[in-house]
Amino acid sequence: MAKLPIFATERLILREVTEADATAYEKNFVDYEIISQLASVVPWPYPPGGVLDFIRHQIVPRQGNDRWVWGIFLKEQPSEIIGVVDLWRTGTPENRGFWLGRRYWGKGIMTEAVFPIMDYAFDVLGFEKLCFSNAVGNKRSRRVKEKTGAQFLRIEPGTFVSASYTEREIWELTRDRWREFKSRQT
């Protein structure tokens, strides 16, 4: 039985990630333009077989327990995972990560994906607030946060795969702020 609900938005299906997604995940994810933006815990060069290992050991056993990882699929191409939204309970300090294959950037896809997941986090998982983070200079990620109601808090030191990033932005989204933001959208 699926441990995660499936969400459908205008253009997307969001569903759990399984080992069967490893090949497409690797194709769309293993790209320095993506991985360079991520926290320095992510290895680069990315090891062969690393995606399957990550799905098998970091996603599947934790899925629906303390971690919720949705794959992003286009309705018009529903068998290929093109990105991920990842939520986790214990903030590091952030509680969410995301990536999208480069050819899909700039079309509003991540913004669209984030909406049902924020609803689920606040309404079903019971988060009262979520913390987000991005490298200072990662304008796309910052923009997704701005477009989905998050509040910028501060800048602090941070280490990323790209050593050119040395600071991170910390953002917060509370349940009340999310509800208020959504009520202004309609």
Ligand X SMILES: CC(C)(COP(=O)(O)OP(=O)(O)OC[C@H]1O[C@@H](n2cnc3c(N)ncnc32)[C@H](O)[C@@H]1OP(=O)(O)O)[C@@H](O)C(=O)NCCC(=O)NCCS
Residue ranges that bind ligand X, judged by CB under 6 A: 34, 37-38, 98-100, 105-111, 134, 138-141, 143-144, 147
Please give the sequence-ordered ranges of beta strands (E in DSSP) within the chain, or none if there are none: 7-8, 12-16, 67-74, 77-88, 96-100, 129-135, 151-157, 167-174
Q: For residues 54 and 33, what is the distance between their CA atoms, to the nearest angstrom?
A: 20
Closer residue to ligand X (CB): 43 or 124: 43
Packing angle, helices 109-123 and 175-185, rounded to 10 = 130
Closer residue to ligand X (CB): 57 or 140: 140
Closer residue to ligand X (CB): 61 or 90: 90
Supply the minimum distance, in Å, between the C-beta of residue 65 and ligand X.
Answer: 23
Supply the minimum distance, in Å, between the C-beta of residue 92 and ligand X.
Answer: 12
Supply the minimum distance, in Å, between the C-beta of residue 145 and ligand X.
Answer: 9
Q: How far is CA 80 from the centre of its chain?
A: 17
Both tokens assigned to 15: 């569903």
Q: Are 109 and 150 in contact (CB under 8 A)?
A: no
Closer residue to ligand X (CB): 33 or 176: 33
The residues near 109 (Cβ < 8 Å, ≥ 6 apart) are 11, 12, 72, 82, 83, 100
Closer residue to ligand X (CB): 111 or 174: 111
Supply the minimum distance, in Å, between the C-beta of residue 1 and ligand X.
Answer: 29
Supply the minimum distance, in Å, between the C-beta of residue 31 and ligand X.
Answer: 8
CA distances from 29 to 5, 47, 62 (A): 23, 12, 21
